[in-house]
Amino acid sequence: MSLTLDEVKHIADLARLQLTDEEMQRYQQQLSDILDYAARLQQLDTSQIAPTANMLVERLALRPDEAAHGLGLADLLKNAPQSEQRQFRVPPVLE
Amino acid sequence: MNTELTGLTLTQSLDLLRQGQLSSLELTRACLERIEARNPALNAFLTVTTGLALQQAEAADRTWSAWRKDSSISLPPLLGLPLAVKDVLAVKDVRCTCGSRILENFIPPYSATAVERLLAAGVVILGKTNTDEFAMGSSTENSAYGPTRNPWDTSRVPGGSSGGSAAAVAASLAPAGLGTDTGGSVRQPASFCGVTGLKPTYGRVSRYGLVAYGSSLDSVGAFAHTAEDIALLLGQMAGFDRRDATSANVPVPQFGPDGRAGFKGLRVGVPAEYFIKGIQPEVEQCVRAAIEQFKNLGAEVKEISLPHTEFALPVYYLIAPAEASANLARYDGIRFGLRENADSLGEIYRLSRGAGFGPEVKRRIMLGTYALSAGYYDAYYGQAQKVRTLIKRDFELAFEDVDVIAAPVAPTTAFRFGDHSEDPLAMYLEDVFTLPANLGGVPGLTFPVGFDQQGLPVGMQLMGPHFREDILLQSAHIYQQNSDWHRRYPQA
């Protein structure tokens, strides 16, 4: 499994990651190696096997939907890199 | 005197506190002084909460005095015992970096459930310990704040990702520490540093306030010098929490020593797949010798097979990065964390993430994004989830015949800095013996069973059925009553 540089660029774009050209090249090689290694999973016949997404699904239970106090606005904004008028500040999204 | 105090186990300190022969302030000060002296060389702590620790210790001593005057008042069970906390678990109002630049200035507005429960039980928090960035790594070399050094040999790694807490306990900077284990991040550093470390059953301890990495694998665990001490911590941390939807609503038993002195009736399985070619010979010898001692103390030892063990590595390195790529999408430079300013929202995301994440985190986000992307989902992520079922089934079948599984923790003892840093796949291979327990959700406990010729500790792990940490802790306790590997501390 060999990834092309274009594929690596596409993945970085999906992941919203700014990468340098050098990083792109390094990940192209390393991800290809890791995916090659992972290819050994294909040798197992899993057509009759159900996937495991989480360990304790059978133990999960519904609970009453009760309102409770969460964090206040001050706490929520405390770590914001930029905030203004009790809101997170971002550049214009719509023209 | 300080060295003596900081070398005490939690159980010993608790006895002295009860008898009035020791105050929490003395004990806490001794730890803080030792941190000041030794941390510059070890880099085990990223943040030392001196003021908070002294305050909590004084409050604990006031409660101890009140109890001496009136023993009818209720006494928190771990009152005045110092604790280190891995820097991926939130402690309210204390910086939480996750070993990442992207959270360099992040101050959590609440505490993790595990932390909150231990605080309610009376612990004193000494500070936050170093970790591979977002717990992704096996050596702490991936921390943005420099690696932690192994107290047994400072040219070697302490293991990871919870290397800071493991080194802190080994070097007697703290008598105990919290860690987290997604693929071996408590057990492997415990083994490399010669301390006892537990990864509980998935769901046993709430993940609320643990910064998410691989949500179907993450578990909150602990380090200490003895299994008895870990039982004390687990007893307080464990239990259902409505704030974590995957927290298990099952009873919390007594985890500590149950009075048995031998292993009569204990069936120990030894999986052939864990004694592979390439394992360091002394690691195998020490583990086999410990298993022999279990036998001499009355255990019934049998060879078993966990046939899908070899697939755990590729399964893990698809599932964990896939979950990580989704979990780490939250670092967008808007609500918290590092922000690189730009004219558009998309550029803020890309630049902030590009500047804030280190190489291993980026690598796993890339790998996970690919494994989940259209056209590849079934072949990679989907297939990995199915093979995960086979690995989980291996454990279920094995535990029909045995009570615990005994195995090595890692193929080698602590390696040197830089040994694997250019080759991610070689680094991932460090985790071959610890990953299956996370994929199967079963508990695993590591404790020291010897040393190699270079004087580096060797650990053994016991794995057990879901929610049977009690068997693991009680078995390790009996072993520790009959051995003294856990009583050896590194020099200076």
pLDDT in tens, B78-127: 999 999 999 999 999 999 999 999 999 999 999 999 999 999 999 999 99
Q: Examine residue B425 and state whether it is found in any structural domain, yes or no.
A: no
Q: Does B246 reach chain A within 8 Å, measured CB to CB?
A: yes
pLDDT at B46 over 70: yes
Q: Examine residue B198 and state whether it is found in any structural domain, yes or no.
A: yes
Minimum-distance CB partner of A54 among B216, B367, B428: B216
Of A9, A42, A48, A57, residue with least CA distance to B370: A9
- Is the Cβ pair B317, A34 closer than 8 Å? yes
**pLDDT tier for residue A95 given thresholds of 50, 70 and 90:** confident
CA gap B399, B151 in Å, rounded: 36
DSSP lists the bridge partners of residue B48 as B127
What's the confidence (pLDDT) of residue A55? 77
Q: Does B168 reach chain A within 8 Å, measured CB to CB?
A: no
What's the confidence (pLDDT) of residue B420? 86
What would the pLDDT profile of A6-63 be if each residue is shown by its tens digit? Answer: 999 999 999 999 999 999 999 999 999 999 999 999 999 999 999 998 877 666 677 8
Q: Which two tokens stand for residue A12?
A: 């970085």
Q: How many domains does chain B have?
A: 1
Q: Examine residue B304 and state whether it is found in any structural domain, yes or no.
A: no
User: Could you say which residues from 7 to 46 on chain A have a Cβ atom under 8 Å away from some Cβ of chain B?
Assistant: 7-8, 11-12, 14-19, 23, 27, 30-31, 33-35, 37-38, 40-42, 44, 46
DSSP lists the bridge partners of residue B267 as B300
Q: Examine residue B350 and state whether it is found in any structural domain, yes or no.
A: no
HSE toward the beta carbon, residue B479, CA cutoff 13 A: 32
Contact B427, B421 (CB under 8 A): yes
Q: Examine residue B385 and state whether it is found in any structural domain, yes or no.
A: no
Residue with the larger pLDDT of the pair A55 and B318: B318
| Nearest-by-CA chain B residue for A16 | B350
**Catalytic site positions of B:** 86, 161, 185
Ordered by start, the domain boundaries in chain A are 1-41
Q: Examine residue B120 and state whether it is found in any structural domain, yes or no.
A: yes
- Is the Cβ pair A46, B383 closer than 8 Å? yes
Of B54, B145, B120, B141, residue with least CA distance to B416: B141
Q: Does A90 reach chain B within 8 Å, measured CB to CB?
A: yes
Test the A interface: residue of B308, B335, B350, B370 with most A CBs within 10 Å: B370
Distance from CA of A73 to the nearest CA of B (A): 11
Q: Which two tokens stand for residue B22?
A: 């020791």
pLDDT at B241 over 90: yes
Pick the CATH number of A1-41 from 1.10.20.60, 1.10.150.120, 1.10.1530.10, 3.40.50.10170: 1.10.20.60
| Mean pLDDT across chain B | 96
Q: Examine residue B271 and state whether it is found in any structural domain, yes or no.
A: no
Q: What is the CATH number of the domain that holds B89?
A: 3.90.1300.10
Q: How many CB pairs under 8 A join A and B?
A: 164
Q: Which residues of B49-68 are buried (b: 16+ CB within 10 A; e: fewer)?
A: beebbbebbeebbebbeebe
What would the pLDDT profile of B412-432 be if each residue is shown by its tens digit? Answer: 999 999 998 778 888 888 899
| Nearest-by-CA chain B residue for A36 | B314
